[in-house]
Amino acid sequence: ETGVTQTPRHLVMGMTNKKSLKCEQHLGHNAMYWYKQSAKKPLELMFVYNFKEQTENNSVPSRFSPECPNSSHLFLHLHTLQPEDSALYLCASSQDGGQLNTEAFFGQGTRLTVV
Amino acid sequence: SQQGEEDPQALSIQEGENATMNCSYKTSINNLQWYRQNSGRGLVHLILIRSNEREKHSGRLRVTLDTSKKSSSLLITASRAADTASYFCATDAHNAGNMLTFGGGTRLMVKP
């Protein structure tokens, strides 16, 4: 266990559905991240929150909407997704976003399938 | 294109052999990290090497960094079947707001 928990572990949703992914960490970290991992592609950074403020939005389509109510919780709200959005979505946290020489702690990921 | 690129993309070895994976990157960095990922699961941090370091050890892992060539290598000695996983390098580049950028990974298979 890395201290970062993601739920659900698996999710199947239709293109018209609305769902949310949840990430929780109790490591005392101030930065949280969403990454997307598709088959045969590098890990893609989607969003970064540092001290609850979004500091990075890596040109992610608006059908993905992040929310960070506090430093311990991060959500990714999903709406009208496309089949190509099917991927493993990974949440990570680190002590301080943008701080040098810090490692990231990852959750186990949510395997999302859009049908 | 991504900052870090691993080589080879896939590697298959026998248990007991050493495994070497390489990572190249494009821009100057603060540090370079290696992560491991078992199939369909999250990434686990293995080791971090700072830009002013040339070599670092952790158990059976040995990481080198050559900033002049913008490359790093991860050596796993005396490999075990349990080392089977994907290995990723990640850099926090000066021109990326110090955010971690990952390469495509090396899939390592260690046969018992």
Q: Which residue has the higher pLDDT, A95 or B16?
A: B16
Nearest residue in A to B47, CA atom: A103
Q: Which pLDDT value is given to residue B43?
A: 94
Number of Cβ within 10 Å of residue B32's Cβ equals: 28
pLDDT for A93 beyond 80: yes
pLDDT for A89 beyond 70: yes
Span A42-68, pLDDT tens digits = 899 999 898 878 877 778 999 999 999
Q: Which pLDDT value is given to residue A98?
A: 58
Closest partner residue to B98 (CB to CB) among A33, A43, A100 is A100
Residue for token digits 């040098």?
A: A100
Instruction: Report helix, strand or coil for B96.
Output: helix
Q: Which pLDDT value is given to residue A13?
A: 95
Interface contact flag, A92 B43, Cβ < 8 Å: yes
Span B59-98, pLDDT tens digits = 999 999 999 999 999 999 999 999 999 999 998 866 655 5
Contacts of A2 in chain B (CB under 8 A): 42, 44
CA atoms of A83 and A15, how far apart (whole Å): 8
Contacts of B47 in chain A (CB under 8 A): none
Handedness of CA A77, B92, B43, B87 (dihedral sign): positive
B56 touches chain A (CB under 8 A): no
Q: What percent of chain A has pLDDT over 90?
A: 70
Closest partner residue to B30 (CB to CB) among A45, A48, A100 is A100
Interface contact flag, A109 B104, Cβ < 8 Å: no
pLDDT for B102 beyond 70: yes
